[in-house]
Amino acid sequence: MDKFFTGQLVTLQYEQRQFEAIVIDPNGLGRNQPSIGFGFRMMARYSGISNSTLSSWTITESVFENNRVLKIKSLNLPSGKRFRITEVVGENNNSYSTLEISQWVEVAADVAIRPGKVRKPVRDKIVEFLAWFAVTGFYAHIYTALKGIYTIDDSKSVYNWTNSRETGIPIRNQYTSFLASKGCRKPFEFAGWTNTIYKNLFGKTKKQMQQTWELIDGEANIGRNYVPQAEGLEAVTYCEDMVIRLFHEDLTQAHKDAIYYTAKKFDTRKLE
C-alpha cells in the first residue's frame, strides 16, 4: 500500500495559518511525492478571492481525450487565462474542486496583474497573500538547503520577522499622529522623539543605526527599517504604543516611562 492516496486530507499549520490541503496525485511529483492542492474554500479564505467569484469564473467544456469525450471544468480568469480544475473526492466523501498549489499562486499573480473587474481591496489582499507565501516558502527552502531541515522554531522565527514589520506600521502611524496632536509640527521634532527611543533602546540614534546597520527592507530614510531582529522591531512598536498609553501631561516623562517598561520587557541592548 502506498503511503499517500488521492483524496487524502492534510490539515497543517503553515506560518501561523491553518490549511486543509488534499492529495491530488500520490505520485504527482515523483514516486511517493504527492501533488497537493487546495479547494476553492481554502483559496478564498487566504487570497481574498471569494468562493462565489471563483465559481463564477468556472466553465464546463467537452473535450476529446483518450478516445472519449470528457466533461472538464476550468477556471477562466479575467485575463482569459485558463486553469484546468481537478475534481477530487476526499476521504470524507466530500467533493473538492482543486488546483495544485503552484497553480493557485499563478492564479493569484495573474489576477493581481490583470484583475478585470476585481475590486481594489481584493487585489490588495491577493498581493499580500503572494508576498507572504513567497517569503515564507523561500525561507523554508533556504533553511532546508543550509541545515537539511526546516523546523517549527524556524517557522516561528520567519513568521515573527515578517509579521513584526507589518504589525508595527499602524502603531507607528498612531504614534506620529499622537505627537502631532501634542504640538509636534516640524520634522526635527518628530525625529527628536524617535531618536530618544532609538538611543535608549539600542544605544544609537537613527543616523548611527544607518551608519552601522544594513537596510533590511523598505525606505532608506526610515530608521526602524535598519533594526536587524524581529524582537527589536517589537520593542520599538511596544515603546511607541506605551508612550501614548502612559502620557498624562508631559511628553518627556511619557517617553521615560515607556522606555523603562520596554527595557524591562525586551533585551534590546544585545543589538548594540
Do 113 and 174 lie in one domain? The reply is no
Report yes or no on 102 lying in a domain: yes
pLDDT in tens, 170-228: 556 678 878 888 888 788 888 899 889 988 888 888 888 888 777 665 566 667 666 76
Flag whether pLDDT at 255 surpasses 90. yes
Q: Would you say residue 165 has pLDDT above 60?
A: no
* Same-domain check for residues 172 and 134: no
Percentage of the chain exceeding pLDDT 70: 70
Report the DSSP pairing between strands 35-39 and 17-25.
antiparallel
Residue bearing the bigger pLDDT, 231 or 20 = 20
Domain assignment of residue 2, yes or no? no
Does one domain contain both 223 and 169? yes
CA distances (Å), 73 to each of 3, 6, 87, 197, 213, in order? 29, 18, 8, 57, 53
Residues 203, 142 share a domain = no
Q: Which domain holds residue 261?
A: 164-271
Place of cell 477530487: 88
Residues 118 and 191 in one domain: no
Report yes or no on 155 lying in a domain: no
**Cα dist from 170 to 149, 199, 215, whole Å:** 35, 22, 21
Q: What is the pLDDT of residues 6-65, one digit of tens each?
A: 998 887 665 556 778 888 888 776 677 788 888 898 888 878 888 889 999 999 887 656
- Based on the fold, state whether residues 82 and 194 are members of the same structural domain: no
For cell 464546463, name the residue. 60
- pTM listed for this prediction: 0.49
Give the residue from 96, 70, 99 showing the smallest Cα distance to 83: 99
Same domain, 16 and 84: yes
The verdict on 175 and 252 lying in the same domain is: yes
Tell whether 30 and 121 lie within a shared domain.
Answer: yes
Q: What is the pLDDT of residues 96-147, one digit of tens each?
A: 999 888 788 888 888 888 888 888 888 888 887 777 676 566 556 555 555 5
Domain total of the chain? 2
Whole-number pLDDT of residue 1: 42
For the segment 77-94, the average pLDDT, to the nearest whole number, is 91
What does the pLDDT read at residue 253?
93
In a domain, 157, yes or no: no
In a domain, 3, yes or no: no
Above 60 in pLDDT, residue 89?
Answer: yes
- Regarding whether 168 and 266 lie in a shared domain, the answer is yes
- Whether 232 has a pLDDT exceeding 90, the answer reads no
